Amino acid sequence: MHIIITDAWLARSRALHLNGWKLIGSALLAALVLIMSSVAAYHWVFLKGVRQGWPGFSSVARLLPQDSGTAKELYIRENLDAMARKLGELQARMMQIDSLGERLGGLTGLKPQGDRVNAVPGSGGILVSARSLSMEELQHEVAVLEQRSTSRIDWLTAAESRLFDLKIRSSMMPTEEPVKGGRIGSPFGYRIDPFTGHSALHTGLDFPAETGTPIVAAAGGVVVVRAFHAAYGNMVEIDHGNDLSTLYAHVSAVLVNTGDIVKRGQLIATVGSTGRSTGPHLHFEVLASGVPQDPRPFLDAGEALASAISGPRR
């Protein structure tokens, strides 16, 4: 190949003679220069795009070599973002705990500490832009969450204690019907005494039933009396605490002993007609500080509670 190069400024020309080998070498040199230029442009454009966070370049961040400082910074940022997302989930759960605390407060009569002064206020709206949290901001949010969680744990522990106390008290209230499905004969109050024919105070409720019908404890407590009484016949008295006790009279058989701890609904005796009685029945009394009370309100409260737990019948 014969190439003539003419310089118009210097008014001179130069001739180049390229044989086959020189032509091939020139082509290879040109190709090498083009490849190196392309690699340099690719490296500069993509590396710069990844480091500066250009749109669309994050997916190739791990495919390009990075210096140790940039890689470390990217690693820290990714971990901070992951921790921030986890912190947001924990804050949402804390709001659920606050809501649960309010419901427990309604049941126990307790109020959350400071009326939820430290609770996260309601917020919302359209997300316009998102900004990554710095390490200092993340540490502050974690500290706030830790303080709130500690406060809520203390309050929920107090609520648990109150609920346990209420449960114990309710279990000690004589609201269980002593004769299951039994009808009530003589009510509490003044009546004509069947033996004297005069008006006299009837200090309990009578449950007429066949001899041997099971009698259960109206509430949990301790058996304080198991004896035979001239008027009451075979009798059992159970102390429920808080100066409250129940008495079961005219029974045919006593199935517990003095000092026994009984549970609500536990079998303690059977119906009979011992003592001053006209026929088989249970004479049931509720005493507050030794003074007879009308058992009907206690039993009605138990029926209302059972109805509320089981729900309305269809």
Tell me the mean pLDDT in the region 70-94. Answer: 73
Q: What is the pLDDT of residue 128?
A: 39
pLDDT above 70 (res 166): no
CATH code at position 258: 2.70.70.10
Q: Are residues 193 and 304 in the same domain?
A: yes
Q: Are residues 139 and 237 in the same domain?
A: no
Q: What is the pLDDT of residue 288?
A: 92
Q: Are residues 47 and 72 in the same domain?
A: no
Residue 245 domain-assigned (yes or no): yes
pLDDT above 80 (res 127): no
Residue 306 domain-assigned (yes or no): yes
Residue 193 domain-assigned (yes or no): yes
Q: What is the pLDDT of residue 223?
A: 97
Q: Are residues 214 and 272 in the same domain?
A: yes
Q: Are residues 47 and 73 in the same domain?
A: no
Distance of alpha carbon 259 from alpha carbon 252, whole angstroms:
20
Q: What is the pLDDT of residue 249?
A: 97
Q: What is the pLDDT of residue 158?
A: 75
Q: Are residues 195 and 106 in the same domain?
A: no
pLDDT above 70 (res 282): yes
State how many domains the chain has: 3
Predicted confidence (pLDDT) per residue in 130-146, tens digit: 556 677 777 777 777 77
Q: Are residues 210 and 138 in the same domain?
A: no
Report how far apart, in Å, the C-alpha atoms of 113 and of each of 79, 91, 117, 202, 212 are: 34, 18, 8, 50, 55
Query: 146 vs 274, which has greater pLDDT?
Result: 274
Residue 114 domain-assigned (yes or no): yes
Q: Are residues 161 and 195 in the same domain?
A: no
Residue 180 domain-assigned (yes or no): no
Q: What is the pLDDT of residue 215?
A: 97
Name the range with the highest mean pLDDT among 7-11, 47-51, 274-278. 274-278
Q: Are residues 195 and 304 in the same domain?
A: yes
Predicted confidence (pLDDT) per residue in 213-252, tens digit: 999 999 999 999 999 999 999 999 999 988 999 999 999 9
Query: 177 vs 47, which has greater pLDDT?
Result: 177
Q: What is the pLDDT of residue 233?
A: 95
Name the range with the highest mean pLDDT among 135-149, 268-282, 295-309. 268-282
pLDDT above 70 (res 188): yes
Q: Which domain holds residue 14?
A: 2-51
Q: Are residues 289 and 240 in the same domain?
A: yes
Percent over 90 (pLDDT), the chain:
30
pLDDT above 50 (res 313): no
Residue 35 domain-assigned (yes or no): yes
User: Exposure of 188 by Cβ count < 10 A (0-12 exposed, 13-18 middle, 19+ buried)?
Assistant: buried
Q: What is the pLDDT of residue 173?
A: 85
Q: What is the pLDDT of residue 118?
A: 46
Residue 97 domain-assigned (yes or no): yes
Query: 24 vs 240, which has greater pLDDT?
Result: 240
Q: What is the pLDDT of residue 262?
A: 96
Q: Are residues 256 and 228 in the same domain?
A: yes
The pLDDT confidence band at residue 156, using thresholds 50, 70 and 90, is confident
Percent over 70 (pLDDT), the chain:
66
The pLDDT confidence band at residue 305, using thresholds 50, 70 and 90, is low
